[in-house]
Every structure is written in structure tokens, then in C-alpha cells.
Amino acid sequence: MRTLVVLPTYNEILNVEPMLRTLREVVPECWVLVVDDHSPDGTATTARAVGEELGQIQVLERNAKSGLGGAYRAGFAWGLERGYEHVVEIDCDFSHDPRALPALLVQAMKYEVVIGSRYVKGGHIPRWTWSRRLLSRGGNQYASLVLDWAWPTLPRAIASTHGAPWKKCTSRPSLRMGTAFK
């Protein structure tokens, strides 16, 4: 299973090296694509240096800050063009626990789409302020409402760490989900 981990960054110089080392430790078989939105702090330079040392790490530098959604789309397109079977998105600030990826990838062998959520029983959100928790909760409730209109049978487990096999996805997917971590 060829898997790509998409890691969007903007001013993540303090997190990018520890995240890349952790990813290499816990999922050594995966490739990592750092999608940097022209960070002025040198995030892309650090990511490139760590990538040269550890291997299987690429850096896609975008020429402006274009947002998280755009970074994910750019990373997914990059992975699709190169034939990756699974693409996983994860935040560089460790708000998604990279140590949960092995369990997520095991589930990806059985299900078309796998979603790991900080909102399932046993899930956690390290180092988040109350305002960030509120924004995340509100965003999840909004996404649930919108997705309910589009796919009424979609379970309510909405999250940001996903693994999707490209060849099985359609424009209107029939989703089967497995909880990869709690």
C-alpha cells in the first residue's frame, strides 16, 4: 500500500522537524509531502534539510499563503498524480497524534475511507485553548449539517485525519468507516 502523508505548514519551524522525525519513526514506509505556504520563518528550508537526512520526504513550496484547504488540495493532487493508493492528512502542530497513524492505516486496508477523530470516546485535544476548541466544535457541527444534506447516511464522525484510497473514491462515495483510534 503506497501511502502519502500530507503535512500542510505555515510558520511551523518549531514543529516541522519533530513531526517529520515522529512520522518517520511511526510510519517509516510512508512518504511525506510537506506543503508549505511560503512560510517566512524558514519552515520549508528546515523540512527540506530533514527530508534529505531521513528520506521519503518531499517539500512542495507554494508562492503565497493560500490556506489549509488549498494546501490539502495541492497535496492530494500531488499524490494522485504520482499514483499513491492512500493519502493521509495531518496537522503539523501535533493536534493530530502521528502515533495513531499505524492503527489508521490498518483500518484503511479494510475500509474505503477511514476517519480518525478527536471527538470519539477516548479522543483528546492536547494544548488547545478554549477558543480553538469552540471553533473546531462549531466547524464540525457545520460540516455535519452540510454533509447531512449531501450524504444523509454519512456517520457523524467528522475529523481532519483521513486516509482515502483514490481508486475506490467516486464523486458521490458510499462511505464505510472504521474507527482507527480513540
As a whole number, mean pLDDT of residues 55-68 equals 93
Percent of the chain, pLDDT > 70? 75
Tens digit of pLDDT for each residue in 100-140? 899 889 988 888 778 777 776 766 676 778 887 788 778 77
Look up the pTM and report it. Answer: 0.75
User: Would you state the pLDDT for residue 170?
Assistant: 36
On the question of pLDDT at 48 being above 90, the answer is yes
DSSP assignment string, the chain: --EEEEEEESS-HHHHHHHHHHHHHH-TTSEEEEEE---TTSHHHHHHHHHHHHSSEEEEE-SS---HHHHHHHHHHHHHHTT-SEEEE--TTSSS-GGGHHHHHHHHTT-S-EEE-TTSTT---TT--HHHHHHHHHHHHHHHHHHHHH-TTS-S---SEEEEEGGG--SS------B---
Tens digit of pLDDT for each residue in 128-176? 788 877 887 787 777 777 666 554 444 443 334 444 444 444 332 222 2
